[in-house]
Amino acid sequence: MRFNRIGALGASSIGVLLSAMVIVGCGPQQAAQVSQAPASSTADLMKQRGLSEADVSAALQTYTPTGKKDEYITFASGGHGGNMIVIGVPSMRILKYVGVFTPEPWQGYGYGDQSQQVLDMGSRFGKDMTWGDMHHPALSETKGDYDGKYIFVNDKANARIAVVDLHDFVTKQIVTSELIQSDHGATFVTPNTEYVVESSQYPAPLGGGYAPIEQFQDKYRGAVIFWKFDREKGKLDKSESFAMELPPYMQDLADAGKLDSEGWVFINSFNTEMAWGGTIEGNPPMESGASQNDMDYLHIINLKKAIEVAKAGKTTTIAGMPVIMLETANAEGLLHLVGEPKSPHGVDVTPDGKELVVSGKLDTHATVYSFEKLKGAIEAKNYDGKDRYGVPILPFNDVIRGQVEIGLGPLHTQYDDKGNAYTSVFIESTVAKWSLKDLKVLEKVKVHYNVGHIVAAEGDTVSPDGKYLIAMNKWALDRFNKVGPLLPQNFQLINIGSEPMQLIYDMPLPLGEPHYAQMIKADKMSPVDVYKPAGYDVVTDAASPNAVKAQEERIERKGKTVDVYMTSVRSHFTPDIIRVKKDDTVNLHITNVEQAHDATHGFTIGSYDVHSSLEPGKHVDITFVADKEGTFPFYCTEFCSALHLEMAGYFLVEPN
Ligand code: CUK
Ligand code: CUA
């Protein structure tokens, strides 16, 4: 019976699909007149396509008919693609690719003066970067819940943080400090987004510069930067930010405390052995040198107190960043360590902020630390000694509530609304669901293959939704059609609202290697449809002083500089002829004066590497030197109307 109902639905969806194919090119009013006869019965379709009942159930949980929207929005890091991917859940439709660390021509990102300014903010040691290794996006939070306003992301390779404004899904700022040379404990936000956490991964002399690797223990250091976020301006404020020196362990993931643990930050680490490789020089390789000890260290930072210490000026400025040195951190009691099982990876604070879950890559357990016990041990100065750098170490057995045997290679943990935790298990390719209260594994679901992070619906906030979970798998192997040796990643959507958990969708993701993601309820977001008023600069978030109004288009020459004030509107650019002389500096100022939803134009001049996306109301400035004489057509790159092909003109460069 239940099955038949599924059948009826499936068949009529096919009918709609066929109808839609028929009406391409017609107005919506005609659509209603097309009949919706079922193509064939569901049983027939299942037989033809070899689908099981579970397959059909999965399809019905994810299939999203035309015009219907997704319940959740996922922001996935793009890994070494350097950009961010926006995905609807449960349909797993890709909604957008957001240019962040890597130029992206569709959005004109990195091709005009505005976004070039943003990319330029990310230069290091005077060198421009054209890519990034994005790992961990973090949505801005209010009282520990996603507020849908901003998203921050890190670039592990170049120790950078970017701010994407969700009112238009555009990258507004990139910050970096030469204090550290890589980051991984980034980005994580405090419960009201006062600070964005960025901790280093690979120790190096603070501020850059050379030191012999033999002096690793003495000259190399880790550090954590607390970037102050100015919500009003939507920007990270370097002048209000500060850092703390850390021992030269390889600091890994971080998390900010919430509720009970608000005001604290946790960072785990590996390679507390301080191995530095040197295989052809007769040393053990880094990975074996770094895996000798049974325990590494979880760092516990009293951020609230650190802010006071930084404000009191008890810092040393390195690479322009005020740094609380280890000596001060120890004297002020800002930093404590506690053992954590072998090569830990994820540290994830529970929704109530009372506990943290740490999983070790080379240990089969997840360890649950009690924040109250940690705090108690710190207050009682209950130490198990100090490390080489004078940092007090808390006794492991006194601060944990317990451990749960998860499986081979547990990595990252997310939460639901029923007191359960979900941990990705890398080596055995499963996601384990376990009870936080009982520390017992309840169920496992197989994934394909070698899952890294997982993301659950609002699964790292104070109020997880317990609905969907995406396993972000590192290997795809046999899951998709062959596309050569470089395979897409495999995102697998799991319904965690059902018992047992059900794998309901496979989505190949061929745009980099996502690490972490954030999944937010779609109705928490309210991005704009068009930029208002027309002439909007998307980087300053204000009307551009160069904005052009209709009827005010013009070309102004001053010496060898030509300013072109241009508008775009369906289906022409004004002016449509631009005459310059070879070697003139050309400043194009283009305003898309349209205010209609989705009336986007693009602008390119062939052979000049000029491109822009002009969303309704957007203004762009493009500066370049006309260093090649010739006849260069320009045109609109976005199919905007029936006369789109006619939306063109000529850029004429006369010889001198
Ligand atoms: S890391 Cu990649 S799977 Cu950078 Cu968060 Cu664990
Ligand atoms: Cu404007 Cu095509």
- Check whether 361 has a pLDDT greater than 90: no
At position 370, the amino acid (one-letter code) is S
User: What's the count of helices (H) and strands (E) in the chain, helices before strands?
Assistant: 11, 43
Q: Tell me what percent of the chain is helix, strand and coil, each rounded to the nearest 5.
A: 15, 40, 45
Asked if 591 contacts 504 with a C-beta cutoff of 8 angstroms, the reply is no
Strands (E), 43-130: 72-76, 84-89, 94-98
CA atoms within 13 A on the CB side of 294: 2
Strands (E), 303-419: 316-318, 321-324, 335-341, 344-349, 355-360, 365-370, 393-394, 400-405, 410-415
- Check whether 457 has a pLDDT greater than 70: yes
Inter-helix orientation angle 53-62/42-49, to 10°? 110
Strand order of the β-sheet with 468-473 is 451-456, 468-473, 489-495, 502-509
> Cα separations (Å) of 136 from 139, 266, 397, 398, 516?
10, 16, 31, 31, 5
- Check whether 613 has a pLDDT greater than 90: yes
Confirm or reject: Cβ of 136 under 6 Å from ligand 1. yes
Burial class from Cβ neighbours inside 10 Å (0-12, 13-18, 19+) for residue 281 reads exposed
Confidence of residue 68 (pLDDT cuts 50, 70, 90): very high
pLDDT digits (tens, 9 = 90+) for 300-346: 999 999 999 999 999 999 999 999 999 999 999 999 999 999 889 99
Atom of ligand 2 nearest to the CA of 639: 2
Find, among 373, 336, 341, the residue nearest to 358 by Cα: 341
% of the chain with per-residue pLDDT over 90: 91
Confirm or reject: Cβ of 453 under 6 Å from ligand 1. yes
Distance 565 CA to ligand 1 centre (A): 47
Asked if 535 contacts 617 with a C-beta cutoff of 8 angstroms, the reply is yes
Distance 475 CA to ligand 1 centre (A): 14
Question: What is the predicted pLDDT for the residue at 20?
Answer: 36
At position 598, the amino acid (one-letter code) is D
Question: What is the predicted pLDDT for the residue at 6?
Answer: 37
Atom of ligand 1 nearest to the CA of 453: 3
Distance 644 CA to ligand 2 centre (A): 5
Confirm or reject: Cβ of 345 under 6 Å from ligand 1. yes
Asked if 58 contacts 90 with a C-beta cutoff of 8 angstroms, the reply is no
Confirm or reject: Cβ of 647 under 6 Å from ligand 2. yes
Distance 451 CA to ligand 1 centre (A): 10
Average of pLDDT values for 355-372?
94
Average of pLDDT values for 174-191?
98
pTM given for the model: 0.93
Tokens of 628: 């090649």
Distance 425 CA to ligand 1 centre (A): 13
Confirm or reject: Cβ of 638 under 6 Å from ligand 2. yes
Residue nearest to atom 1 of ligand 2 (CA): 601
Question: What is the predicted pLDDT for the residue at 36?
Answer: 58
Burial class from Cβ neighbours inside 10 Å (0-12, 13-18, 19+) for residue 568 reads buried
Asked if 603 contacts 586 with a C-beta cutoff of 8 angstroms, the reply is no
- Check whether 57 has a pLDDT greater than 90: yes
Question: What is the predicted pLDDT for the residue at 437?
Answer: 97
pLDDT digits (tens, 9 = 90+) for 373-424: 999 999 999 999 999 999 999 999 999 999 999 999 999 999 999 999 999 9
- Check whether 191 has a pLDDT greater than 80: yes
The DSSP-derived string for 441-470 is EEEEEE-SS-EEEEEETTTTSSS---SEEE
Question: What is the predicted pLDDT for the residue at 287?
Answer: 84
Average of pLDDT values for 438-463?
98
Distance 546 CA to ligand 2 centre (A): 22
Burial class from Cβ neighbours inside 10 Å (0-12, 13-18, 19+) for residue 164 reads buried
Distance CA 487, CA 220 (A): 37
Atom of ligand 2 nearest to the CA of 571: 1
Atom of ligand 1 nearest to the CA of 135: 4
- What are the φ and ψ backbone dihedral angles of 177, each rounded to 5 degrees? -130, 130
Strand order of the β-sheet with 316-318 is 185-189, 195-199, 222-230, 235-246, 321-324, 316-318
- Check whether 202 has a pLDDT greater than 50: yes
Atom of ligand 1 nearest to the CA of 452: 3
- Check whether 32 has a pLDDT greater than 90: no
% of the chain with per-residue pLDDT over 70: 94
Closest ligand, as measured to the CA of 612: 2
Closest ligand, as measured to the CA of 517: 1
Residue nearest to atom 3 of ligand 1 (CA): 452
- Check whether 4 has a pLDDT greater than 60: no
Atom of ligand 2 nearest to the CA of 602: 1
- Check whether 17 has a pLDDT greater than 60: no
Question: What is the predicted pLDDT for the residue at 88?
Answer: 98
Question: What is the predicted pLDDT for the residue at 34?
Answer: 56
Distance 81 CA to ligand 1 centre (A): 15
Tokens of 266: 């946790």
* Overall size of the chain counted in residues: 656
Tokens of 543: 């009307």
Distance 615 CA to ligand 2 centre (A): 11
Distance CA 138, CA 134 (A): 12
> Of all helices (H) and strands (E), which one includes residue 59?
helix 53-62
Confirm or reject: Cβ of 594 under 6 Å from ligand 2. no
The DSSP-derived string for 530-592 is S-SSSSEETTTTEE-TT---TT--EEEEETTEEEEEEEEETTEEES-EEEEETT-EEEEEEEE
What residues are paired with 519 via a beta bridge? 74
Confidence of residue 16 (pLDDT cuts 50, 70, 90): very low
- Check whether 27 has a pLDDT greater than 80: no
Residue nearest to atom 2 of ligand 1 (CA): 515
Tokens of 244: 């703390």
Residue nearest to atom 4 of ligand 1 (CA): 135
Confirm or reject: Cβ of 640 under 6 Å from ligand 2. yes
Residue nearest to atom 1 of ligand 1 (CA): 515
Tell me what the pLDDT averaged over the chain comes to. Answer: 94
Question: What is the predicted pLDDT for the residue at 1?
Answer: 34
Closest ligand, as measured to the CA of 134: 1
